Each structure stands twice: as C-alpha cells, then as structure tokens.
Amino acid sequence: MVADCSSAAAAVVVWLALIASMDLTAKVRATTGRTGYTTRQAAYDLKKLRGKHLVDKPGRTRRYHVQPTAVRAVTAVLTLREKVIAPLVAGVRDDLDHTPGTCTRIDRDYQRLRADMRVLFDNLGITTAPAAA
C-alpha cells in the first residue's frame, strides 16, 4: 500500500509541490484504480512517509512537502522494482533451459542471474509457483 502511495506521491510532485491527504487520496485512486482507498489511509501513509523523511510538514499546515531527494529515491526504488526485480522474480519461475535463438552476452548474464536467484530462493526455502503451460 505504501508503494502505491509512494508512486502517487512521486506523480503528485510533478504538478504540486505541497500535497494534502485529500490530494493524495484522489491521485492514488486515479493511479491504481483502488476506489476503496480512503483519506484516512492517505493520512496514515503520509505519516509513514514523514517518518521515513520522504515528506515533511511545514509548520502547522495540513499539507506535506515532498523532498526533491525523496522523489529521486522513490523513483529509483520504483524503477528497480518494476523494471528489474519483478522481471527477475517472474523469470525465476520460467524454464531455465529455454534459450533464445541468438544469445547475447546480456542474455547469458540474465540466465545466470535467474539461475542464481533460483538457488537463492531454494536456500531461503522460498518456493516459486510452477510456470503456466
């Protein structure tokens, strides 16, 4: 849930330097399609982000200021999660014997990384669901 809130906060910062929980609620709903996300949840998520020093609350206002360094950090984490970690974890479930017709150095590195991830998951006792046929 905080990931949805973080991505929405990163999106909000593009058009607004100060955000309120109502603004964040609307943005999370629009971004994720979660219509059940309430203003109370947004306020809670903003407090969690404040505790992690990603947003601060200037004075006694009801708005939160998103730190520029926080935007970079959240964007980096979300990019890693969506572009690197999710495909790797999804690739671990695939058949490791599958090789593309023309195998580049990057393909070999990716296959090695997938194999190492499978070993790591086995060592940690994490099972992956079999790939759909």
CATH topology of domain 2-75: Arc Repressor Mutant, subunit A (1.10.10)
Could you tell me the pLDDT band of residue 133, with boundaries at 50, 70 and 90? very low
Domain boundaries, the chain: 2-75, 94-124
Could you tell me the pLDDT band of residue 14, with boundaries at 50, 70 and 90? very low
Q: Which residue has the tokens 């910062």?
A: 13
C-alpha to C-alpha distance for 108 and 84, rounded to whole angstroms:
16
Whether the predicted model's global pTM rises above the 0.75 cut: no
User: What pLDDT is attached to residue 15?
Assistant: 42
Strand ranges for the chain from DSSP E:
18-19, 55-56, 64-66
Model confidence pLDDT, tens digit, residues 49-72? 888 888 888 888 888 887 778 877
Q: Which residue has the tokens 């992956």?
A: 128
